[in-house]
A = this chain, B = another copy of it.
Amino acid sequence: MSLINTQVQPFKNQAFHNGKFVEVTEQSIKGKWAVVIFMPAAFTFNCPTEVEDAAEHYAEFQKAGAEVYIVTTDTHFSHKVWHETSPAVGKAKFFLVGDPTHHLTRAFDVHIDEEGLALRGTFIINPDGMIKTMEVHSNEIARDVTETLRKLKAAQYTAAHPGEVCPAKWKEGEKTIAPSLDLVGKI
């Protein structure tokens, strides 16, 4: 069954966040929108550019009331060193979550069993802990954070306006569609 519209499973992980080690759980991420971004491994090739991409848009995520969580199967110890040694990752002000037990990675179905690493998966989770969008790439193909931002806003808009749906390519501020019997078969 798809993960879409299911609750995030319980987890308890250590993260490096603004110079501190903190615990992150399925409870702690509730209450605001969450963007969970899995990456294969610290210290590798295009992961830092993805972290940097997220860092550069972090102000926009915050403005949208969303928090960002980067996850790898490394420890939070590695994440601290990564933050200190990588010029790109050093910009990150959000959570770098270690998943050495691989439980979180498996719970989001992005674990590569023969490598012990995560696929590039991005998940938008609403404040109730419900997964609303997912996007997973084979690891040689990186993501674009602006598209994640667009989806986040579409998800927030439809959450706030239960009677409407966003048409294709919808961007913040555009018109949405209010479904009605008359529209069936007419668009």
> Is A100's CB under 8 angstroms from B81's CB?
no
> Is B145's CB under 8 angstroms from A185's CB?
no
Q: CA A44 – CA B137 in complex, angstroms?
A: 29
Question: For window 141-159 of chain A, which residues contact chain B by CB distance below 8 Å?
Answer: 141-147, 150-151, 154-155, 158
- Which residues from chain B contact A141 at a C-beta distance below 8 Å? 132-133, 151, 154-155, 158, 166
> Is B155's CB under 8 angstroms from A168's CB?
no
Chain A, residues 94-119, CB within 8 Å of chain B (1/0): the string is: 00000111100000011111111101
- Taking a contact as CB atoms closer than 8 A, the residue among B81, B145, B170 that contacts A168 in the complex is B145
Given contacts A113-B101, A141-B158, are A185 and B132 in contact (CB under 8 A)? no
> Is B140's CB under 8 angstroms from A158's CB?
yes
> Is B187's CB under 8 angstroms from A136's CB?
no
Interface size for A (C-beta < 8 A) is 83
16 example contacts (A-B, Cβ-Cβ < 8 A) are as follows: A4-B119, A4-B136, A42-B77, A45-B179, A45-B184, A46-B167, A73-B100, A74-B75, A84-B185, A101-B114, A132-B141, A134-B135, A134-B136, A142-B165, A143-B168, A144-B169
**Given A1-B109, A49-B168: 20 more A-B contacts, CB < 8 Å:** A2-B136, A3-B136, A5-B138, A42-B78, A43-B78, A45-B184, A46-B165, A46-B168, A80-B185, A81-B81, A81-B82, A81-B85, A101-B115, A133-B141, A134-B136, A140-B166, A141-B158, A142-B168, A144-B150, A147-B147
